């Protein structure tokens, strides 16, 4: 397969750097353009980026000149790690110009025509792009904490019905980007507030688990309550969950359902797909962010401490790598899924003529 040229929007930021890191040597995509604010535009990426990753800048990117978000771009797919202060209009502009924008930003997530996709869960929602007014399209992935929550409750919902979820998050500092959280606020401290985060966690899963009916997603009926905390951890969001199910399965059944969960990315064997999207640990004191975030190359949702909850029925601890499965890796997995499902056929335009036709997995790519 010939590689598809891609650009990274917000390429100097925390998520943008992670895009560049995860896309090095990618079998489908080649980073050809790095795009940032006017302030960085025109400078070599190496100088402009303030690289914070623990392996050097990939050589094919190091030499690129940073383009401005004002400029026209050549790449077919744009991975967006733009700050939400600009992502709304910039992503719309590039989608209107014909690009497929694979966004990690929150701005368009709840737009009725924009797919909000975790490909293990709702890849059929990608079809929403055919109802977008853009020449191109915008596709989004959820908020980092939402992803792990949705991964954990989807198999439970399908098997037993989920009525309500109570979740408390303990989120890593890397989730706030760079410079992000001042050290004076978080060293030896907990900040029990992350602006906008609780609302995202309480609403995004309803769309993800919703049913696609024509051009419209009917949100699922489920109550979610979130309390979000920042903790002095570098990478890895921990979440404590209490879940109310419609039926009353045993812990053994629940565990079997969680461990058995699999989806389209696993079926297609996508490059970034975790072999097992959900891992269940038995040790009483796991998962832990500093020890378990990199399981399955940072693409796993790790679950531990599954047990009965006197109030809601069952409870557990979940963990995921917030900047991999929770951000850049989520967007890349979305793009891989779309490519392999034929949304990018010929690598030129979105095949809008195939609208609503069920999209088979191409035989040659299995």
Which residues are known catalytic residues? 144, 237
Site string for a copy of itself, 47-66 (x = CB under 8 A): -----x-x------------
* Cβ closest to a copy of itself, residue 38 vs residue 225: 225
Bridge partners (DSSP) of residue 31 are 6
* Beta pairing, strands 211-213 & 216-218: antiparallel
Whether 35 contacts 11, CB under 8 Å: yes
Q: Total number of residues binding a copy of itself (CB under 8 A)?
A: 58
CB atoms within 10 A of CB 38: 10
Which of 315, 345, 351, 354 lies at the binding interface for a copy of itself (CB under 8 A)?
A: 315
Choosing from 93, 255, 276, 286, the residue that interacts with a copy of itself (CB under 8 A) is: 286
Strand 100-103 vs strand 137-140: parallel, antiparallel, or unpaired? parallel
The encoded tokens of residue 276 equal 């097992």
Contact 114, 128 (CB under 8 A): yes
DSSP state of 324: I
Least distance between a copy of itself and beta carbon 289 (Å): 6
Using CB under 8 A, pick the residue from 47, 70, 71, 185 that binds a copy of itself. Answer: 185
d(CA 274, CA 104): 19
Of the candidate residues 92, 131, 240, 354, the single one contacting a copy of itself (CB under 8 A): 240
Nearer to a copy of itself, 192 or 269 (CB): 192
Verify binding: residue 227, a copy of itself, rule CB under 8 A.
Answer: yes
CB of 189 to a copy of itself, least distance (A): 4
By beta-carbon proximity to a copy of itself, the closer residue of 7 and 57 is 57
> Which of 25, 311, 348, 353 lies at the binding interface for a copy of itself (CB under 8 A)?
311
Min. distance of Cβ 292 from a copy of itself in angstroms?
8
Burial class (CB in 10 A: 0-12, 13-18, 19+), 227: middle
Q: CB 1: neighbour CB atoms within 10 A? A: 10
Beta strands in 268-352 (DSSP E): 278-280, 301-309, 313-320
Angle at 252 between CA 250 and CA 258, to 5 degrees: 105
231 binds a copy of itself (CB under 8 A): yes
Told to check if 84 binds a copy of itself by CB under 8 A, we report no
- Write the binding mask 290 to 309 for a copy of itself: x where contact by CB under 8 A, - elsewhere: xxx-x---------xx---x
- 287: contact with a copy of itself by CB under 8 A: yes
Site for a copy of itself in 12-41 (CB under 8 A): 14
Residue 104 binds a copy of itself (CB under 8 A): no
CA distances to 228, 229, 238, 278, 350 from 167, in Å: 8, 11, 10, 18, 38
**Do you find a cis peptide bond into 302, omega within 30 degrees of 0?**
no
Q: Distance between alpha carbon 361 and the CA centroid of its chain, in Å? A: 22
Q: Is 248 in the site for a copy of itself (CB under 8 A)?
A: no
Q: How far apart are CA 198 and CA 35, in angstroms?
A: 30
User: Which residue, 1 or 190, has its beta carbon nearer to a copy of itself?
Assistant: 190
Candidates 143-151, 153-161, 174-182, 350-358 — which segment interacts with a copy of itself by CB under 8 A? 174-182
Interface pick for a copy of itself out of 65, 193, 211, 356 (rule CB under 8 A)? 193
Annotate 132-174 with DSSP letters as a single string. -SSSSEEEE---HHHHHHHHHHHHHHHHH-EEEEEEEEEE-GG
Give Cα 102 to chain centroid, integer Å: 10
* Nearer to a copy of itself among residue 235 and residue 336 (C-beta): 235
Q: Is 221 a binder of a copy of itself (CB under 8 A)?
A: no
Residue ranges binding a copy of itself (CB under 8 A): 14, 52, 54, 164-166, 168, 170, 173-174, 178-193, 202, 223-225, 227, 229, 231-234, 238, 240, 242, 244, 284-292, 294, 304-305, 309-312, 315, 317
């Amino acid at each position: 397969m010939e590689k598809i040229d891609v650009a990274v929007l917000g390429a100097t930021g925390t998520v943008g750097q992670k895009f560049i890191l995860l896309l090095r040597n990618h079998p489908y995509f080649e980073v050809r353009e790095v795009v940032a604010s006017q302030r960085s535009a025109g400078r070599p990426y190496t100088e402009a980026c303030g690289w914070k990753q623990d392996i050097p800048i990939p050589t094919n990117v190091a030499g690129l000149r940073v383009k401005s978000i004002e400029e026209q771009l050549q790449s077919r797919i744009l991975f967006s790690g733009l700050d939400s202060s600009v992502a709304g209009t910039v992503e719309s502009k590039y989608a209107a110009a014909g690009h497929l924008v694979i966004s990690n930003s929150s701005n368009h997530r709840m737009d009725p025509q924009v797919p909000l996709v975790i490909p293990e869960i709702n890849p059929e929602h990608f079809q929403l792009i055919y109802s977008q007014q853009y020449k191109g399209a915008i596709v989004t992935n959820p908020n980092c904490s939402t992803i792990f929550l949705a991964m954990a409750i989807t198999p439970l919902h399908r098997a037993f019905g989920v009525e309500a979820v109570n979740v408390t998050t303990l989120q890593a500092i890397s989730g706030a980007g760079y410079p992000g959280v001042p050290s004076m606020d978080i060293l030896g401290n907990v900040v029990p507030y992350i602006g906008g985060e609780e609302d995202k966690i309480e609403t995004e899963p309803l769309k993800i688990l919703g049913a696609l009916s024509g051009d419209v997603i009917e949100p699922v009926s489920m109550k979610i309550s979130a309390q979000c905390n920042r903790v002095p951890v570098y990478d890895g969001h921990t979440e404590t969950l209490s879940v109310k199910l419609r039926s009353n399965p045993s812990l053994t059944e629940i565990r079997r359902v969680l461990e058995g969960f699999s989806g389209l990315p696993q079926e297609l064997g996508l490059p970034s797909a975790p072999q097992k999207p959900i891992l269940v640990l038995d040790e009483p004191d796991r998962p832990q962010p500093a020890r378990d975030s990199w399981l399955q190359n940072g693409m796993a949702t790790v679950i531990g401490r599954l047990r009965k909850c006197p109030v809601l029925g069952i409870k557990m601890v979940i963990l995921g790598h917030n900047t991999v499965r929770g951000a850049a890796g989520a967007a890349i997995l979305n793009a891989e899924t779309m490519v392999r499902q034929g949304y990018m056929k010929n690598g030129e335009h979105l095949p809008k003529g195939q609208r609503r036709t069920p999209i088979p997995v191409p035989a040659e790519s299995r």
